[in-house]
Amino acid sequence: MGHVIELRTPAEIEEMRPAGRFVAGVIEATSKAAAVGVNLLELDALAHEMIRKAGAESCYIDYHPSFGASPFGKVICTSVNDAVLHGLPRDYTLKDGDLLTVDFAASVDGWVADSAISVVVGTPREEDLRLIDTTRRALDAGISAARPGNRIGDISRAIADVAKAEGLSINTDFGGHGVGRTMHGEPHVPNNGRPGRGLPLKPGLVIAIEPWFLHTTDRIFTDPDGWTLRSVDGSRGAHSEHTIAITDGDPIVLTARG
C-alpha cells in the first residue's frame, strides 16, 4: 500500500489560512524577541502563551516520532549555532553573534501550518548572514518550482542549485513534507533531487518546503538531549521553511510573514 497523498479543495486551502497566519505570527514574535540575554525557555514560553491566547494546539509538545528519544515537551524548536534542526529549548541565554533558528508548527481549527526562520542575535558574522540568505533564496526557488506540471524532483533540484552555487553540500535525511490535518505527511520533499522525477505536482497539494544547510558539512548527529541535531564538525546551520499550497497558478504561501 502506498501512502495516500491528499489534495485539498480550494475551500479547504482557505480554511488553512488562519493556521498559516498564526504560525507566521509566532515565528515573527519569537524571532524578534530573540536578543542578547534572552533565554531559549523564554522564547518557548512566549510561543506557549500565544498558542493559549489563540486557542491553537501545539504540534510539538506531545510529538514522539521513531527518531525522538521521548515526547518533545516544548512548543517551539530553537536551534543555536551548530544546531540546525529539532532544537529542544533549554536553559541557554543567547549571546552576541549567536545564529538562532526558530521552527514552529501548530494546529488551528484542525489544520496545521509549519514554518522556520534563522536570525543572528546581536552582531552578525558575514558568513552567517550569507548562509541564512542562501536558505531563503533556496526556499524561494523551491516555491517557484511548485507548480502543476512539475514534480517533487523539480522543487528539490531548484533548492539544490542554489546551495551548490554557494559550494554547500546537502543532507537529504530531513526535508520538506506534506502538511494537512497533521504536521508530517506524504510526500517527502528532499532538498536535493533530479528534475522530472517523483510525485507529479497537482493543485491542492499542501507541502512544507524547508531548505537547511550547514557551512562546511552535510552530516549531523543527535545531541544527548535526544532531539537537537548538530553538525558533525561544529559548523553553523541555517534553515528557512514555509507551508505552501499548489494551485492552478502561483503557489499560495500560507505562512507568509508581514
28 marked ligand binding residue: no
223 marked ligand binding residue: no
48 marked ligand binding residue: no
210 marked ligand binding residue: yes
Residue 133's contacts (CB-CB under 8 Å, 6 or more residues apart) are: none
Q: How many CB atoms lie within 10 A of CB 80?
A: 23
86 marked ligand binding residue: yes
Three cell numbers written together for 133: 540568505
218 marked ligand binding residue: no
CA distance 216 to 89: 25
Amino acid at 252: I
82 marked ligand binding residue: no
Q: What is the DSSP string of the chain?
A: -PPPPP---HHHHHHHHHHHHHHHHHHHHHHHH--TT-BHHHHHHHHHHHHHHHT-EESSTT---TT-SS---SSSEEEETTEEESPPP-S-B--TT-EEEEEEEEEETTEEEEEEEEEE-SSPPHHHHHHHHHHHHHHHHHHHT-SBTBBHHHHHHHHHHHHHHTT-----SS-EEE-SSSSSEEEEE-SS--TT-SSBP-TT-EEEE--EEESS-S-EEE-TTSS-EEETT---EEE-BEEEE--SSSPEETT---
Residue ranges of the annotated binding site are 86, 103, 114, 177, 184, 210, 241
Residue ranges of the annotated binding site for substrate are 86, 184
Residue ranges of the annotated binding site for a divalent metal cation are 103, 114, 177, 210, 241
